[in-house]
Amino acid sequence: MKKILYLLDDPSKDKHVHKYVLNGLVAAGFEPTILYFYGDPKNSVMAGPKIKALGLGLGKKDFRGLNLKAILALRQIIKSHGFKIIHSQRHRALVHSGLSTLGMKDVNLIYTVRATNVLRNVNRRLAIRLIKKNLKRVICVSHAVKEYVREKARFIPEKKITVIHNGVSLKKFCIKATQREARSFLGIPENGFYFGIVARLKKAKCHDILLRAFREVIRMYPETRLAIVGDGPLENGLKVLSDELGISQKVFFTGRVEYDEVPIAMKAFDCFVHPSFREGLGVSILEAMASSLPVITTNADGIRDIFELFEEKGEWRIGEMVSPKNVHELSRAMLEYRGLSEDELKRMGKMAREHVKRHFSKELMVEKTVSVYRDLLHA
C-alpha cells in the first residue's frame, strides 16, 4: 500500500516545491492525499484527479496552539484511510500528527525542516521528544539545517536525519522575454545596470544592509540602479531609509509578484543580491542562478551548501558569499561585479545555471524524496 498523507497549513500557502514532490510521488506510483488544517481544500491548486485534498475545517486561530479536536479528527482520518506515511512540513503539523498516531506501530512520520529556528525553545524540543518513536525520518534542506537539528534534538538518531536540497525547475526559469520587456513588466526604467532582489521585506533578508551597501556603489557608478521585488512589514521603513540615504531616485520598490511572475522579474536584473542572515538553503538564490544570473549573497546557514558544491573551473565563479550584516563586504562585492563586463557576467550566469541543473534540480529533489518513502515502506 502506497497511501501518503501530506500535511500543509492551508491552501493559500501552497508552494511549488510541494507540487513538485506530490507530482513526483504520483509518477512513482504513490497515492498522495493533502490534508489542510485550515482553509477550504477546494481552493488547493495542487489537488487533482490523482492527488486528493482533505481539510480539518479549523479556523486559523484554532491552529495556533495544541488542538485536541484536531488531533482526534486526524487520528480518525489516518485510521480510516490506512495511511502508512505522514509527511509534515511544519512543526505544529508534526506535533499534531505525532500525537494522533501514538500507539500506531505501523505509521511512519516524516518531518521536513527548512530553517534553523524551528527548535528554538524547550517546549518545541520536548514536543518532538514525546513523538520521536514514530518519527522515522527528518529531511533537512541543507547540511546547516542538519547540524542545527543534531544540536537541538540529540535524541533523534543521526541515521534518521538526511539532507535533501530544495530543487527548482530549470524550464520555468528559461523564458523568451527580453530584459527590456522584463523591466517594463516591473514598471522600472529600461536602461542602466540593475542589481536586484526578490524576497519578502522582513528582518532576516537584510534589505537595510543592501540599501547601505548600494549607496557606496552609486558613489562610483552613479548610473546603477537597484530593484527590490517583494512586499512585507518593513516596506515603509525601507522606503524611509532609502530617502534618508539619498538613494531613492535609484531604488525601485516594485511590490510583490506572483510566483509564476518571478522568472520575468529575474530577467530584469544584471546581478542578483541576497544579503540574508538566515536561510535554510535559499531557494530564491537557486532561482536566480537558474535564471542565469551571477549571485552575491552571504555565507549564512544553508547558503554555503550552494557554493560548496560548485566545482570551480579556473578563475570562473557563479557568485560570491560575504559575511552577513557586513555593509563593507557587501558593497565591495557589488562594486567588483559592477565593474565586470557584460560577457563576464553572462558567463558566470551560464555556469550558475549549469550548477543548479547538476545539483539543485526539482528532478533530483523528487528522486531523493521518493527514495526516502520507498525505504520506509520496505523497512
Query: Do the Cβ atoms of 110 and 377 come closer than 8 Å?
Result: no
Query: Do the Cβ atoms of 51 and 26 come closer than 8 Å?
Result: yes
Q: What is the pLDDT of residues 326-369, one digit of tens each?
A: 999 999 999 999 999 999 999 999 999 999 999 999 999 999 99
Taking the C-alpha atoms of residue 56 and residue 44, their distance in angstroms, rounded to an integer, is 14
pLDDT computed for residue 328 by the predictor:
98
Asked if residue 312 has pLDDT above 70, the reply is no
Q: What is the mean pLDDT of residues 206-220?
A: 98
Query: CB atoms < 10 A from the CB of 363, how many?
Result: 13
Asked if residue 313 has pLDDT above 60, the reply is no
pTM to 2 decimal places: 0.93
Mean pLDDT of the chain: 94
Q: What is the pLDDT of residues 246-301, one digit of tens each?
A: 999 999 999 999 999 999 999 999 999 999 999 999 999 999 999 999 999 999 98
Q: What is the mean pLDDT of residues 39-50?
A: 92
Query: Do the Cβ atoms of 14 and 45 come closer than 8 Å?
Result: yes
| CATH code that applies to domain 179-359 | 3.40.50.2000
pLDDT band at 1 (very low <50, low <70, confident <90, very high): low
pLDDT computed for residue 379 by the predictor:
63
Question: Boundaries of CATH 3.40.50.2000 in the chain?
Answer: 3-167+362-377, 179-359
pLDDT band at 310 (very low <50, low <70, confident <90, very high): confident
For the 3-167+362-377 domain, the top CATH level (class) is alpha beta
Taking the C-alpha atoms of residue 166 and residue 282, their distance in angstroms, rounded to an integer, is 9
pLDDT computed for residue 314 by the predictor:
52
Taking the C-alpha atoms of residue 283 and residue 272, their distance in angstroms, rounded to an integer, is 13
Q: What is the pLDDT of residues 183-205, one digit of tens each?
A: 999 999 999 999 999 999 999 99
